[in-house]
């Protein structure tokens, strides 16, 4: 099984670490591959060491981002079934297994440093929440997901050129979408 397109999002969970996932689309399937763990501890500790801590954290973050990009480039050429078997937290969902999904702007009181939220619910009742940490990943998700998820996806965010960020849909646009989906 080969990937057609992909984006990255952080899986958010109340009771466990929040791993960074690469989400690949392949036909009517979404493949979720864990690509790194949570770096929240380093982010939380760095300010306690003042400017030196911030500089070291920035250097470490840049180095780990480059390392991750190199690894992703190598993985993009691998078969998705091999990547799925690599970690027990990796999983695959067919579009028919997803009852409802939404893409939303970040919450007003957010503060998690994310640019948007993707929520989905499986037919089993299991719910997933993902945060987009990079603008290009959110844009890619907004291009990929409507084709894969169809009517089960509701997009509640739109790009606001003035704010240079995704914001909540205006009431009139939301009404238009509701009318179209009926």
Percent of all residues in the chain with a pLDDT value above 90, rounded to a whole number? 47
Q: Are 129 and 119 in contact (CB under 8 A)?
A: yes
Whether this model's pTM surpasses 0.85:
no
pLDDT digits (tens, 9 = 90+) for 21-33: 999 999 999 999 9
Distances (CA, A) of 161 to 26, 102, 104, 150: 31, 22, 17, 26
Nearest to 102 by CA among 36, 169, 163: 169
Residue 116 near residue 131 (C-beta atoms within 8 A):
yes
Secondary structure (DSSP) of the chain: ---SEEEEEEEE-SSS---EEEEEEETTEEEEEEEE---HHHHHHGGGGHHHHHHHHHHHHHHHHHHHHHHHHHHTTS-HHHHHHH-TT-EEEEGGGEEEEEEEPPPTT--S--SEEEEEEETTS-EEEEEE-SHHHHHHHHHHHHHHHGGGEEE-EEEETTTTEEEEPPHHHHHHHHHHH-
pLDDT of 20 reads 86
* CA-derived radius of gyration, the chain: 18
Cβ-contact 12, 130 below 8 angstroms: yes
With cut-offs at 50, 70 and 90, classify the pLDDT of residue 171: low
Each domain of the chain, given as residue ranges in start order, spans 5-40+73-181
Q: What is the mean pLDDT of residues 12-19?
A: 74
Q: Give the pLDDT confidence of 124-168 residue by residue, as tens digits.
A: 999 999 999 889 999 999 999 999 999 999 999 999 999 988 999
- What would be the CATH architecture of the domain defined by 5-40+73-181? Roll (2.30)
Q: Could you report the per-residue pLDDT of 71-113, keeping only the tens digit for each?
A: 766 677 778 999 899 999 999 999 999 999 999 998 766 555 6
pLDDT reported for residue 112: 58
Q: Which residues contact 83 (CB under 8 A, 6 or more apart)?
A: 31, 33, 75, 90
pLDDT at 43: 59
Q: What pLDDT shows up at residue 57?
A: 73
């Amino acid at each position: 099984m080969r990937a057609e397109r992909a984006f990255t999002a952080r899986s958010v969970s109340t009771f466990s670490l929040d791993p960074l996932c690469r989400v690949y689309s392949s036909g009517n399937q979404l493949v979720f591959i864990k690509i790194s763990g949570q770096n929240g501890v380093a982010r939380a500790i760095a300010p306690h060491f003042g400017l030196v801590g911030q500089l070291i954290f920035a250097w470490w973050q840049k180095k780990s981002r480059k390392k991750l990009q190199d690894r992703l480039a190598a993985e993009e050429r691998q078969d998705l079934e091999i990547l799925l078997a690599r970690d027990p937290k990796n999983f695959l969902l067919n579009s028919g297994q997803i009852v409802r999904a939404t893409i939303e702007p970040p919450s007003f009181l957010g503060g998690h440093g994310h640019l948007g939220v993707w929520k989905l619910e499986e037919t089993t009742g299991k719910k997933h929440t993902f945060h987009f940490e990079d603008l290009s990943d959110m844009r890619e998700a907004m291009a990929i997901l409507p084709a894969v998820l169809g009517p089960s996806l509701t997009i509640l965010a739109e790009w606001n050129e003035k704010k240079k960020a995704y914001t909540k849909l205006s009431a009139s646009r939301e009404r238009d979408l509701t009318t179209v989906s009926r």
